Structure 1
Amino acid sequence: MDLKTLYAPVARDLADVETNFNELADYWKAEFPELHDMLRHILVGGKILRPALTFMAGRCIDGQSKKILNMATANELMHIATLVHDDAIDRADTRRGRLTVNKLWGTEKAILLGDFLFARASEFAASTDNLRVTKLFSQTLGIIAVGELRQARDIYSSDQGMEKYLQRIAGKTAALLKMSAESGAILAGGNEAQIEALAGYGYNLGMAFQIVDDILDFIGTEAELGKPVGSDLRQGTVTLPALLLIQKHPSDNPVSDFLAGKDREGNIARAIKLIKSEGLIEESYKLAESFSGKAISLLEGLPDNACRRGLSALADYLVRRRN
C-alpha cells in the first residue's frame, strides 16, 4: 500500500489544500514576483502528511465536516516554515534532491520567508473561528521552537541520554502531528474522549515517524534520502541509533570521538558500520513500532469507518517506509 492509496478517502480535501497554496503564491505574482517564485518553489510537492491527518481525524468523527480545510492548510504551512528555517540554520543546499530556499535566494531571505509562512499559517488557523484550535496552534508553535532550541543546545554533545532524545523529538516532530490530528477532531465536533484519543494517536505517530527518520539516516541511500547518509550525525545531532551505540560502548565509540572532533570522516564511517552490525537498527525499530502500536490502539474507541482504518494503516506504513 502506498500513500496515495492511504490518502484516498481525503484526496479531494487535499486537493483543496493545494488550491489554497496556489492562491497564496499567485496573490503575489504581479506585486512581488520574487515572493511568488519562492512560494511556488517551496509549496510544490511533499507528502502532505499533516493535512491528511487533520482531515482523516475529523472524518473519523464527522464525514461531512467542512470546517477543517483552513486548519489543515495552517498545519502544513507551519511544517513547511520549520523546514525552511531548519535548512537555513543547517546551511543545507538540498532537501530531498531539490535546492533549498537558502541556496537559491540566500539565508536572510529564507529566514524571512519562514516568518512569512508562520504568519500566514496563523491567519489560516484563526480563520477557523475556533479559539481552542487557535490556542492549540500557538502552543504547538512554542513547543516546536523549544524543541529546536533543545537540539541546538545539545549539538555535538554526547551527554544526552534517552530522556533528552525523546523530549527533543516530541517537540521537534510529535507536537505538530498531535496538533494535526487533535485539531481535526475538535473542528469535527468530537467529544473529549475522541479528541484525546486522536491527539494521543498523533503524538505517538509523530514519535514513531521521527525515530524511523533517524533510522533511515543511517540505513537509507543518498538517492532515497536526498542527503548524505549519516547527515544528522555529521551536523552534530545524536539520534537514537547513535545514542544506543554510545550507551552500548560508553568508554570507546566512534560517535563520541566524532563529536569530540577526532577523525570525523573515519569515525562517521565506523559509526555507520557498527550501528548496522550490532543490532542497533533493529532495537531502534522496536521502539518505533511500540509508539506505532500505541497510536493504533488509541483508535479502537472511534467509529469504524474508512478514515479510522486509514489512520491505522498509516501508522503501520510509516514505520515500514524507506524515505
Structure 2
Amino acid sequence: MVFRRERSRAAGASRRRNTGMMEYSSSGGLQQARVAAPGRKRPSLAAIYRPVRHEMEELERRLDQVIEGAPADLKEQLAYTLKAGGKRIRPALTLLAGSFYRYDVDLLLPMGTAVELLHTATLLHDDTIDSSHIRRGKLTANRLWGNVNAVLLGDYLSAASAHMVAEAGKAWSLRSVTDTRSIRAMELLAQTIMNICGGAIEESLHPFDADEERYFTRIARKTASLFSAAAESGALLSEAPDQAVECLKNYGYKLGMGFQIVDDILDFGSDVRRGSLTLPVILFLQREENRWVRETLERDTERGVKLLIEMVSGSPVVDECYRIAGDLCTQACAELEQLPRSPAYSSLVNLARYIARHES
C-alpha cells in the first residue's frame, strides 16, 4: 500500500511558503475549498467526539482523580485550572488516532490524559510569561495566585503527565504492544516538552520579529509538536503500521499549524502588544505599501503597535491567513486518505473542518 502526501494547488498561485514539513499555497485552491468553503456547516465538537464519547467522559474522571490525589493546598488551583472549559482537542486526537487498528482503552486513556495535563501545563507557563490575565473568559492562575504559584502549578502538571505515562507502562507490559513502541510513545512527550520550551525561548529572544520563517518554526515547536505527538502516540499504541503512524503524525502536525494560525488571527492584537508578531501582522508588514508602518514601529513602538492593530484588522491579509490555515487543514485530511474508512476517519476530517472555521 502506498501512503502518499498531497499538496493542494491553486490556479495561478505563484507564491508558496515552506512550513517545515510541507509547502502550502497562500491563495488556497480547490482542495482547500473542500475544508473551508463558507457554505459548509461547521461541525460540532460533540459530533466529532461521538466515536470516543465514553472515553472522553472517562478522561474527565481521570482528571478529577489527578485533582483529588493532589496535596490539599493544590486542589483548588488544580480544579480551577483543569476545569476551565478546555475543548480537549488534543486528547481526542490521541483516542481517535488510536481507533483505526487495535483499540485498547487501557493504553490510550492514560496517554490522552497525559497529553491534556501537559497541554494545561504549557498554558499556565505561557500565561505567566506573557503576563496574561484572562483565558477562556476567566482570570488566569498567575493573576489569581501569582507568578510563582502558577509556574509551580505548571511544573506539577508536567510531572503528573509524566507520571500518567509511567503508570500506563504497567498496562503496556501486559499487552502485546512491543517495548519499542511503548518507549517511543514515552519519548514523544519528552521531546514535545523540549520543542515547546525551545519555541518559547526563541520567541522571548526575538521580540517584534517579523521573520516569517522563524514564525513557522516557532508555532511548529510550540503548538504543532503537541498535536503531532497526540496523534502519533495514539497510532503507536494501537499497533498501527509504520506508514499509518507517519500519516497520523503528519495529520496532527498540519492540523496544529492550521489551528495556531487561526488562533493568531483571532488574537493578533494581544500578541502585538506583548511584542509577538504573528502571521497576519508579518504578512501585512511584508507589503511594500506598508513599509512606513514598520518604520514607525521601529521608531516609536507604542505608536507602531496601535497602528498595526488598527490597520491589520481591516486588511486583506486576514482573509489570506484564513486561506492558509484552511489549506493546511486540507493537507491534514489528505494524510488520512490511505487509512481505513471508519467513524474515527470521519471525525478527524470533521475536526480539520472545525479548526478551519474556528471562531473562539
Q: Could you tell me the TM-score, scaled by structure 1's length?
A: 0.90
The correspondence of residues 276-291 of structure 1 with structure 2, limited to 5 A, is 276-291=313-328
5+ residue gaps, structure 2, are 1-42, 170-181
Q: Distance in 2 between matches of 1:256 and 1:4?
A: 47
- 8 A contact 2:272–2:309 mirrored in 1: no
Over residues 124-151 of structure 1, what are the superposed CA-to-partner deviations in whole Å (9 max), with x where a residue is unaligned? 1222322110111111111111011111
Q: 1:138, 1:282 → 2: CA distance?
A: 36
Q: Contact conserved, 1:245 with 1:255, CA < 8 A, in 2?
A: no
The 5-angstrom pairing of residues 27-42 of structure 1 reads 27-28=69-70, 32-42=71-81
Are the counterparts in 2 of residues 179 and 199 from structure 1 also a CA contact under 8 Å? yes
1:184 matched residue in structure 2: 234
Deviation at 1:269, TM superposition (A): 4.2
Could you give the per-residue CA deviations for residues 228-252 of structure 1, whole angstroms, max 9, x where no partner exists? xx10111100100000011113773
Tell me the SS of whatever aligns to 2:168. coil
Give the deviation of 1:104 after TM superposition: 1.1
Q: Does 1:60 align with 2:110?
A: no
Q: For residues 301 and 201 of structure 2, what CA distance do their matches in structure 1 show?
A: 27
Q: Where does residue 274 of structure 2 map in the other structure?
A: 235
Q: Within 5 Å, which residues of 2 pair with 1:1-323? A: 1-28=43-70, 32-44=71-83, 45-63=85-103, 65-129=105-169, 130-158=182-210, 160=211, 162-218=212-268, 230-249=269-288, 252-254=291-293, 257-258=296-297, 260=298, 262=300, 264=302, 266-323=303-360
Structure 2 SS opposite 1:66? helix
How many angstroms apart in 2 are the aligned matches of 1:38 and 1:68?
A: 27
Going from structure 1 to structure 2, the CA distance change for 1:276 and 1:110 (only over 3 Å counts) comes to closer
TM-superposed deviation, 1:119: 0.6
RCO greater where, 1 or 2, for CA within 8 Å and sep 6 or more? 2
Distance in 2 (CA, whole Å) between partners of 1:157 and 1:137 is 28
1:257 deviates by 3.0
Matched to 2:54, the amino acid is R
Closer/same/farther in 2, CA of residues 256 and 140 from structure 1, 3 Å limit? farther
RMSD: 1.7
Matches of 2:332 and 2:120 in 1, distance apart? 24
Q: Deviations over 1:6-65 (max 9, x none)?
A: 11111111111111111111123xxx3320101001010210011000000001223454
- Percent of counterpart pairs with the same letter? 37
Does the aligned pair in 1 maintain the 2:284–2:290 contact within 8 Å?
A: no
TM-score of the two chains, using structure 2 as the length reference: 0.81
- Count of aligned residue pairs for this structure pair: 305
Question: Gapped runs of 5+ residues in structure 1?
Answer: 219-229
Which AA in structure 1 matches 2:61? Answer: T
Secondary structure, aligned partner of 1:128: helix
